Amino acid sequence: MTEERLQKVIAEAGIASRRAAEKLITAGRVKVDGHVVTKLGIKVTTFSNITVDDEPIERESLHTYLFYKPRGIISSAKDDKKRKTVTDYFSALPYRLYPIGRLDYDTSGALLMTNDGELANLLMHPKNEVAKVYVAKIKGHLAPDEIHQLATCVTFDGFHSRPARVKIIRSDPKKKIQIVQLIIHEGHYHQVKRMFETVGHDVEKLAREQYAFLTLEGLISGEWRELSHEEVEKLKRL
């Protein structure tokens, strides 16, 4: 039976942030199985009866999905312009999901959707270098010095990229384009496009083919699958 810290369970129920949940506990406003708890670090199970100010909390089961995001879809819960968002694909499910990070409107590929706040925070934290594999169709051909720059550090808008792995998949001299694989570990806004633009090449098409160890094998654009418990735990260990 899985045990979790009380403040984490309260935070995941949407009652308060983790820090605010700790204050609720130390103030004596939380009960577990009818008993007031004021000590931090107490662990509870799925079957524990938890109340805040004598109101029972609703504990939502946690789910994480690998989604093959199509191009032309917004990576957010809602859009002011009424455009279709990634959450629209999951509207039939009985719980709300949110994207972990973002993919640009015109970028397709692997995107994680979850209601697991702890997992989302772990994966998006800058110190946790989660590998992301992109394939880009760029104008022109990368020169050796440009490949070296991408592989070491590219600077734009005050941002300094970490070392990336670069692999030329295919070159087309007649059309003057290249298909390039780029593996990065950050999630800066428009990062891949800006990296290529900085070394002198516009991106015509971009897809994220892999997130950490998760690939899109077996999925087509617009499809998703739920991650297994083992896959989620492996992501947390990253």
What pLDDT is attached to residue 46?
67
Q: How far apart are CA 89 and CA 98, in angstroms?
A: 11
In terms of pTM, does the model score above 0.85? no
Active site residues: 104
What pLDDT is attached to residue 238?
82
What pLDDT is attached to residue 1?
44
What CATH number labels 132-211? 3.30.70.1560
What pLDDT is attached to residue 125?
79
Q: Is the Cβ–Cβ distance between 226 and 63 less than 8 Å?
A: yes
Of 3.30.70.20, 3.30.70.580, 2.60.120.10, 2.60.40.1120, the CATH number of 64-127+214-237 is: 3.30.70.580
Q: Do domains 64-127+214-237 and 132-211 have the same CATH topology?
A: yes
What CATH number labels 3-56? 3.10.290.10
Residues pairing with 120 in the sheet:
none
The ranges of the chain with pLDDT < 50 are 1
Which ranges in the chain belong to alpha helices (H)?
A: 6-12, 18-26, 117-124, 144-152, 191-198, 229-237
Query: What does the domain layout of the chain look like in residue ranges?
Result: 3-56, 64-127+214-237, 132-211
Torsions phi, psi for 52 (to 5 deg)? -120, 120
DSSP character for 20? H
Burial 106-119 (b: 16+ CB within 10 A, else e): ebbbbbbbbbbbeb
